[in-house]
Amino acid sequence: MGRQGSRADGTWDEIWIVPGGEVAFVLRRSGPNFVYVGHTYVHGIMDGEECLRRFRDVPMTEINLV
């Protein structure tokens, strides 16, 4: 997960990598949930195997999309 830009209210959109996904997702927190904003390209991690290597020790997080 990473951050992308700041909104006027001081919140951040977040970049999420989803196992099996072909793109990274831009999500926005909405209380305890997340809202899908769109997808994005992140240079250097879009190759699936490279992504698995870089993030293999990052714990998985279950989230709710609304």
* Model pTM above 0.85: no
- Model pLDDT, residue 34: 92
Q: What is the DSSP letter of 43?
A: T
Domain residue spans in the chain? 2-55
Residues 47, 66: Cα–Cα separation, whole Å: 28
What are the pLDDT digits (tens) for 7-48? 666 678 888 887 777 788 899 988 899 999 999 888 777 666
